[in-house]
Structure 1
């Protein structure tokens, strides 16, 4: 399966079943409020505004004025991208009819159907779409908390954290040690930590070739494991030590003040430590009362929550079944949700829900790999229909083509999200 920019933007017929018509407030057009301007929220806002041709009042609440994509942020760490390459503004959404409000959503009153803002006041809605991404589980890694994120960055929310981790990489002493504490399942972008290891290894091979990388992993296996391990052996032989759960990778603590990592009781002094802790849905989903404590269970047909048919949760924050937590997944789910919401509010046609996902990873220059699948809505969950994955031993030409395909997808998805 290959995608180019035109094909990606054309895959918009991922739609959902009709909802019952909601009460439309007497004073005017039905109102949709979207919280979170990433791959899920921005896409949903844009598609509802565009598809309704002004019949629906769409407001996007997003605190940041510039959105840095988590996808491709590892390539920034590896030196393949500049930080500006992964930063995007919201002018295109505003030009497309979305009212963009740069503020924090700090509460949801589902009875009154309002979202309260940190800056004061509230916004009423007929339908509410939450796409807040992830937050971290405090205490998931012993010794680490958000107060330690400057000493030991997570860099799993792109932007300033990405820049901090890159600066720490650049400042590593010759022959120094980079450590990563990998997250337990489920988490954002299953191949992400291992693409990051690859990109850090590439940077160090170019700039600090005697440096070492230690990965403490609570999992016995990980996404694209054979592909990554083949690539590490081919490109970074002897540099990377992956310690899985069988060898104590899940028994980890850190000391940010001393810059040490303890793995199954063995303490190692490190120069840079990237802690990626356990994750949960972004805080606003919890405040809205639509989570199970960690993630928000949703209905596969339209991404509406199990707790409230007028509240939808997209992307990383949702518990939906078989789809991985990825930017592609969030974008695909957003199109289904947008079609369902527009249909419920305006009576427009609603298509059956279909979903797709592809995750590309770069291991070394022109050595790209991918994994993906198609999905359908069932009464129980979003269910995988079929899938594909790169194979070990592929030709260099195919790996280069896979990487070039990922570049086309990036251009396509950011345009699809933000206009």
Structure 2
């Protein structure tokens, strides 16, 4: 029977459970721990999740707090295989359970309003304030909406350049497209996330269409006059998808001046282009959090390239796609490499030790043109006072004219790279 006394007990019990569930957050709010350092990491992708794991390895006594709004993370790498029906969405889905249980990282699934460098605190949308000694921020990218492509246009013409729901939507649109239809991609201006990504996507879409809707065609309207690994891609397209893919450079018919996302009509300098499936990838800039936190100059975040500390906000280190880390491309592997360097430098700064000087970084980028045809580019870098430079003689491109066995081996390496990266970050 629920009388007043029992009701009061129920209320007290529920309150206690609620407080226990929130204790990991409220114990951090506003004040710093007395006997240890705290680093708050914002963003749980290739950059943020790697930084959290490696900082805990480099400095086990540091309290590491990882704040990521979503409980699951979908990777852009290998997202193109989902769009093409080679893998299902679960293949690119990952969570943070191992980071919590194995590495004792405090993971909060909350939305961050801003990183406030004036009070060394992260401000959450719910009003909570989490103080830090150092912060590592991996804000990712956001989009420049213009020419008629506005927020909400993704429902009709997805960019699928943030993996998850749009990955599945673009996949479904391809499945629903008639045989003989036209898939049109608009590729963005530089700089943008994963420079070979649009062209890998086109390749794998061509693989799907060739095997399922062979009368269809692909048109790329590029906002540039050249693109990453261009020779290798065009060679592969000629070998695998003869006459299926048409690439129009910005100079020769590719420049888009207006877009109608709902009706999938693009206006170019040479006339209108009608798509059955329109994959419009907008031009890009640093994620909104970077702007709200005062970390940007222009579209991106200037950093000290040896430590990745912001040049605008003290004690905040910016990694991944949002950072100005040229000559490194904006890629998952780059973010992973930068995260390890930032974690090491932060650990040393907290311990009042000299930083690694100069730190070394790396990037390897595999692209699949089909499940059995891979190409790659790789480089090793060194960070100097105000720039990151490629080490002479390091890395390189896949050779032109390689045989079928070589390309198949590269494709196998690509799968191995992805599996190893996911283990390195989330396991």
TM-score, normalised to structure 2, is 0.89
Q: Paired residue for 2:420, among 387, 401, 412? A: 412
User: Distance between the aligned counterparts of 1:204 and 1:365, measured in 2?
Assistant: 14
Q: Could you tell me how far 1:98 is from its partner in structure 2?
A: 0.9
Q: Which residue in the other structure is 2:108 paired with?
A: 101
Aligned to 2:309: 304
Contact 1:286-1:293 within 8 A present in 2 as well: no
Counterpart selection for 1:68 from 63, 66, 74: 74
Q: How does 1:194-273 map to 2 (within 5 A)?
A: 194-273=199-278
Q: For residues 362 and 221 of structure 2, what CA distance do their matches in structure 1 show?
A: 31
Structure 1, residues 253-292: CA drift from partner, whole Å, max 9, x if none?
2112322122224112211100101111111111110111
Aligned to 2:8: none
SS of the counterpart of 2:395?
strand
1:350, distance to aligned residue in structure 2 (A): 4.4
1:113 paired to 2:120: yes
Residue 82, structure 1, aligned to residue 88, structure 2: yes
Larger Rg: 2
| 8 A Cα contact 2:121 2:132, kept in partner | yes
Secondary structure (helix, strand or coil) at the match of 2:155 reads coil
Query: Within 5 Å, which residues of 2 pair with 1:36-185?
Result: 36-53=43-60, 55-95=61-101, 96-139=103-146, 142-185=147-190
1:71-96 Cα shifts (integer Å, max 9, x gaps): 11011112221110110010011111
Match of 2:327 among 313, 322, 328: 322
What SS class does the counterpart of residue 152 from structure 2 fall into?
helix
2:361 maps to 1:351:
no
**Contact 1:77/1:203 (<8 A) preserved:** no
Structure number with the bigger relative contact order (C-alpha 8 A, sep ≥ 6) is: 1
- Superposed displacement of residue 403, structure 1: 1.2
State whether residues 214 and 243 of structure 1, in contact with CA within 8 Å, keep that contact through their aligned partners in structure 2. Answer: yes
8 A contact 2:47–2:319 mirrored in 1: yes
1:120 is displaced (CA, Å) by 2.7
After superposition, residues 357-376 of structure 1 pair within 5 angstroms as 357-376=363-382
**Counterpart-to-counterpart distance in 2, 1:349 and 1:80:** 47
Pick from 285, 289, 292: which aligns with 2:290?
Answer: 285
- The change in CA–CA distance for 1:269 and 1:51 in structure 2 (over 3 A counts) is same
* CA RMSD, Structure 1 to Structure 2 (Å): 1.4
- The separation in 2 between residues aligned to 1:326 and 1:312, in whole angstroms, is 18
Give the whole-Å Cα distance in 2 for the aligned partners of 1:351 and 1:108: 26
Equivalent position to 1:341, from 341, 346, 363: 346
> After the TM superposition, which of the residue ranges 343-352 and 32-41 deviates more from structure 2?
343-352
Give the equivalent residue in structure 1 for 2:25.
Answer: none
Give deviations 1:399-419, integer Å, cap 9, x for gaps.
111111111111111111112
Provide the secondary structure at the position in 2 that maps to 1:248.
helix
Q: 2:32 touches 2:132 (CA, 8 Å); kept in 1?
A: no
How far apart, CA to CA, are the structure 2 residues paired with 1:339 and 1:25?
21
TM-score between the two structures when normalised by the length of structure 1: 0.91
- Cα distance in structure 2, aligned partners of 1:378 and 1:51: 23
Q: 1:252 to 1:216 in 2, by over 3 A?
A: farther
Name the counterpart of 1:388.
Answer: 396
What SS class does the counterpart of residue 367 from structure 2 fall into?
Answer: strand
The SS at the match of 1:74 is: helix
Report the number of matched residues.
Answer: 393
Higher mean Cα deviation, 85-94 or 300-309? 300-309
In 1: Cα distance, 2:309 partner to 2:355 partner = 15
User: Does structure 1 retain, via aligned residues, the 8 Å contact 2:85–2:171?
Assistant: no
